[in-house]
Amino acid sequence: MTTRRRGLSLLLVAGLGLGAVSCGSGDDKPGAQGSGGADGPVKITVGCQPPKSNAKEREGWDADVVAFQKLHPNITIESKDAFPCINPDTFQAKLAGGSQEDVFYVYYTDVQKIIKARQAADISQYIGDVKATKDLRPDVQGVFKSEDKTYGVPRNNYNMGLVYNRKLFTQAGLNPDTPPKTWAEVQAAAKKIAGLGAGYTGFGEYSAGNTGGWHFAASLYARGGSMVGEDGKTAAFNSAEGKAVLENLKTMRWNDNAMGSKQLLQWEDLMRMMGSGKLGMMIGAPDVVQSVNNDFQGKFEDYGVTAVPESEGKSSLSGGDGYMFNPKATPEKINAGLLWLEFHELTPGQGQFNYQRAKEQGRPVGLPIPDLYGDSATGKEIVALRKQFATVPVDHFTPYVTAQASITNKLEPPKAQELYAVLDVAMSAVLTRQDADIDKLLSDAESKANKILAKNT
Amino acid sequence: MTVTQERVRRPQSRAAGPRPDVDGRGALKRSVGRNLTAYGFLCGALICFALFSWYPMVREVVLSFQENNFVDPGKWVGFDNFRNVIEDPAFRQAWLNTAIFSALALVVGYAVPFVLAIVLNELKHAKAYLRFVVYLPVMLPPAVAVLLFKWFYDPGAGLFNQILGTFGIPPLAWLDSTSTALISLVLVSTWMNLGTGTLIYLAALQSIPGDLYESAELDGAGLFRRIWHVTVPQTKLILLVMLLLQVVATMQVFIEPYLLTGGGPENATVTVAYLMYQYAFNFGDFGGGSALGLMLMIVLMVFSTIYLRVSREAER
């Protein structure tokens, strides 16, 4: 019996304690399929085909694939659907298991980490053939660059703003056409909205699962602060701006009682609260409205977006997504993939910019994203098309769009997720503890962040 | 040839001549032939274990000493991954939280099912119904059960605070307070796993001969003395195994902090398994995550070995 018990315990320890992070093999070899000559047949796998549950967008994607293959008979696109398009839990496993797409979808947050880990192909020598990239905003192109080398193509680009519920503004006696421009105005508006009754939250903020640190960075940038020093090896958030971010939250949470009692909120929590129509304001990009409308029972017409208060003349944390290439993709596959991306993601009137089709399908048109081209000729063409086929109230996003002229996009810091995890502590402390010592929280976070950044070679 | 014939012939052939090799091979062949089906079943289990348990374990050990991007061959980095995670400020907190969680889960989650099993065993009516009710939470998918508690713990409209309110007790912050967050997770975990423990204890209790209780009763033993002198010794083996299982399972707590608190507030619910997840999937550092996993495995193995030795000594 003793032997049996020992065997049992060893099996338990071994089976339960291990294995969670170690599946997969790193021995994948590049597939021979589709690696023909310059004009030979090429087959590429492309990620982020809309899922079956999103029938209209999927129909559009599939039609685009057919049209593209007609234009390029030697190229076959094998679409891969997944929702969400990238999942950090499966990214490494797919790469290790050899099932990573040739052209894979990625968020801005992960781009530099992927480049640093050499998990994407260098496409510098091929990108010159993509004419559409000449008009791309340099900062957007810069997201996918490292030391003058290019590793990907953007699909979406935006920066943070203030998302607000216009209906609640009206209910609280506020004018939804003149959203808050200063944090003092945000505090006053939040107080009024929270005063509408039990369950109403004036201002919502994240503080768990690394999302708290992410929004700390967004608020910090908008106040003119920085997460890291110039060399990227020291933390710079223990500053007057960093302190102001936390003090502002502390005031709204404890003095004004305008942030609700439930904290440790993560992405989905605020989306759900916004969709339910009980949340007044939150930091977020225009894509928040899209998610709230599509997945959380909100209605486009109830929401508006403006710039983050007091951010004009300063910066805003940029976000977005795009595509990178499997490091084992052959040159033929990379060329074919770039042709597809130019066709589907970068050309006005086609693919993602086919607003006419989107309108006919009853899909929302008119959000001020993606902003890939800025004020260039291509950018203007896209804005005009968007206006022509708009199905959502474009005016609701005017304050956000107008402010863009004076706001600089700022990228996430190096070691973003690690720093966000550290700053979650400060954010959760301020939102869950009335006696939170902001100076100490920032100082502790700074020393932890410095240790992390010191390893950032 | 029947088994009887074979048994009869075997001594004769041994006596007939010295051909041990041939005879041995024959015996092996016969033995394999007789147990072919069993070996077939064993192969299936072995293949499954090899693929889904042992291979990932070996890979994890290898990964913990490598820097690996899963594209190029892994680069050996010695103990760098271990050094990095040990220097992480969250490392100590994660181990402390895990130890506290396990201790609390042991106090609550180990005792409650045993007591519940005794009560269920003593009941005369509605036994089957109550067994079903106790086992019900186990049938819920863990994520659903955890999210249910997310609503129960809501500081505003949550069920628990409403119950407290009816007794005039002020609301608690539950998950939002560093002092109550961890114990709140223990309650969820206990609730989710209560049914399995109770059923196992109940099965053990039902195997205790009734005359032992009768004798104890005749000797004048009350309820608690009967439990202490009959129930506990008779279920000792199960209690010991369950203790080991409980510790091994609770030291790997992940889903509760992942879904309920995201490690907060102020890292109060960051556990070793949660930190492992952060390293591997959020920071993209599989080496660090594997190093943490290996450390956890070693701790659990040491615990299991000491525990088994101590319990063996106690048995003697």
Record the tokens describing residue B102, joined without a space.
């396990």
- Grouping H, G, I as helix, E, B as strand and the rest as coil, residue A69 is helix
Subunit contact B176:A26, Cβ cutoff 8 A = no
Burial class (CB in 10 A: 0-12, 13-18, 19+), A175: exposed
Residue B24 pLDDT: 67
Q: Residue A8: inside a domain, yes or no?
A: no
Please check whether residue B253 touches A, CB under 8 A.
no
Instruction: Kindly state whether residues A355 and A432 are assigned to the same domain.
Output: no
Tens of pLDDT, residues A311-349: 989 999 998 999 999 999 999 999 999 999 999 999 999
Average pLDDT, chain A: 89
8 Å CB contact of B155 and A261? yes
Angle at B4 between CA B3 and CA B8, to 5 degrees: 115
Of B56, B244, B277, nearest to A22 by CB-CB distance is B56
Which DSSP string do the residues of A150-195 spell out, in sequence order? E-EEEEEEEE-EEEEEHHHHHHTT--TTS---SHHHHHHHHHHHHT
If asked whether residues A213 and A267 sit together in one domain, one would say: yes
Q: CB B52 to CB A17 under 8 A?
A: no
- Domain boundary among the residues A384, A418, A437 is at A384
**Do A42 and A34 form a contact (C-beta atoms < 8 A)?**
yes
**Residue A234 shares a structural domain with residue A184:** yes
Q: What distance in Å separates the CA atoms of residue A399 and residue A152, rounded to the nearest whole number?
A: 31
B-chain CB neighbours of A2 within 8 Å are 308, 312, 315
Where is the domain boundary, A332, A349, A384?
A: A384
> Which of A8-12, B21-25, B222-226 has the highest average model confidence (pLDDT)?
B222-226
| C-beta atoms of A327 and B71 within 8 A | yes
The last residue of a domain, from among A384, A414, A439: A384
Residue of chain A minimizing CA distance to B262: A209
Q: Quick check: B60 and A18 CB within 8 A? A: yes
Tell whether A301 and A185 lie within a shared domain: yes
Residue numbers in B near A89 (CB within 8 A): 281
Across A205-325, where does the E strand assignment appear? 279-284, 303-307, 315-325
**Cβ of B265 and A263 within 8 Å?**
yes
> pLDDT-derived band of residue B198, with 50, 70 and 90 as boundaries?
very high
- Gap between the Cα atoms of A82 and A128, Å rounded: 30
Helix (H) or strand (E) holding B191: helix B181-206
Rounded to 5 degrees, φ, ψ at A343 are -65, -45
Same domain, A88 and A104: yes
| Angle of CA points A349, A351, A352, to nearest 5° | 90
Shortest CA distance from B150: residue in chain A: A262
Residue A382 DSSP SS3:
helix
Q: B56 CB near a chain A CB, below 8 Å?
A: yes
CA B84 → CA A16, A455, B91, B183, distances in Å?
24, 9, 10, 29
Is the pLDDT at A18 greater than 60? The verdict is: no
Residue A36 lies in a domain: no
Residue A1 domain-assigned?
A: no
**Over 90: is that where the pLDDT of A113 sits?**
no
- Contact between A9 and B261 using a beta-carbon 8 Å cutoff: no
What is the crossing angle of helices B236-250 and B286-315, to 10°? 160
**Is A33 within the bounds of a domain?**
no
Give Cα separations from A169 to A194, A198, A251, A411, A432 (angstroms): 11, 16, 20, 31, 26
**What is the tally of structural domains in chain A?**
2
Nearest to A101 by CA among A335, A332, A326: A326
Whether A202 and A246 share a structural domain: yes
| Phi, psi dihedral angles at B284 (to 5 degrees) | 65, 25
* CA dist list (Å): B193 to A439, B145, B243: 42, 11, 13
CA distance B310 to B302: 12
**Helix orientation angle between B181-206 and B111-122, rounded to the nearest 10 degrees:** 40
Question: What are the pLDDT digits (tens) for B271-305?
Answer: 999 999 999 988 888 999 999 999 999 999 999 99
Distance CA A146, CA A234 (A): 20
DSSP B70-109: SSSPPEE-TTHHHHHHHHSHHHHHHHHHHHHHHHHHIIII
A337 and A282 share one domain:
no
Residues A264, A134 share a domain: no
Check whether residue A145 and residue A286 sit in a common domain.
Answer: no
User: Considering chain A, what percentage of its residues have pLDDT values greater than 70?
Assistant: 91
SS3 readout for A226-249: CCECCCCCCECCCCHHHHHHHHHH
A131 and A78 in one domain? yes
Structure tokens, A350: 């086609």
Contact at CB, B244 and A92, closer than 8 angstroms? no
Give the gap in angstroms from C-alpha A111 to the nearest C-alpha of chain B.
Answer: 12
8 Å CB contact between B117 and B201: yes
Chain A residue closest in CA terms to B67: A117
Domains annotated for chain B, with CATH where assigned, are 1-55 (no CATH), 82-315 (1.10.3720.10)
Return the number of CB contacts < 8 Å for A and B.
195
What percent of chain A is helix, strand and coil (3-state, nearest 5)?
45, 15, 40
Q: Which residues of A touch B60 (CB under 8 A)?
A: 18-19, 21-22
- Do the Cβ atoms of B156 and A207 come within 8 Å? no
- Determine the distance from the C-alpha atom of residue A318 to the mean position of all C-alpha atoms in its chain, rounded to a whole number: 8
Sign of the four-CA dihedral B276, B277, B282, B286: positive
Could you say which residues from 125 to 144 on chain B have a Cβ atom under 8 Å away from some Cβ of chain A? none
- Give the pLDDT confidence score for residue B22 in this predicted structure: 52
- Confidence at residue B157, expressed as pLDDT on a 0 to 100 scale: 81
Tell whether A2 is covered by a domain: no
Model pLDDT, residue B2? 41
Interatomic CA distance for residues B284 and A91, integer angstroms: 9
Alpha-carbon span A18 to A12, nearest angstrom? 10
Distance CA B110, CA B117 (A): 11
CATH number, residue A85: 3.40.190.10
Contact A23 B56 (CB under 8 A): yes
Cβ–Cβ contact B263 with A under 8 A = yes
Quick check: ipTM above 0.90? no
- Full domain range(s) for residue A104: 42-157+320-365+379-384
Q: Select from B57, B178, B284 the Cβ nearest to the Cβ of A117.
A: B284
Of A200, A264, A205, nearest in space to B154 by CA: A264
pLDDT for B21 equals 52
Of the candidates B89, B267, B284, the beta carbon closest to that of A92 is on: B284
Whether residue A340 sits in one domain with residue A413: no
Burial of A27 (0-12, 13-18, 19+ CB in 10 A): exposed
Which chain B residues in 269-308 lie under 8 Å from chain A, judged by CB atoms?
Answer: 273, 276-284, 286, 289-290, 293-294, 296-297, 300-301, 304, 307-308
Lowest mean pLDDT, pick from A205-214, B79-88, B240-249: B240-249
Angle value at C-alpha A302, between A298 and A304, nearest 5 degrees = 110
pLDDT tens readout for residues A238-294: 999 999 999 999 999 999 999 999 999 999 999 999 999 999 999 999 999 988 988
Within a domain: A349: yes
How many C-alpha atoms does B79 have within 13 Å on its Cβ side? 4
B156, B237, B262: residue with CB nearest A261: B156
Q: From CA A208, how far away is CA B264, in angstroms rounded?
A: 6
Give A211's contacts in chain B (Cβ within 8 Å).
262
Same-domain check for residues A226 and A198 = yes
Predicted pLDDT at B15: 42
For residue B40, what pLDDT is reported?
Answer: 87
Mean pLDDT calculated for residue range B120-143: 87
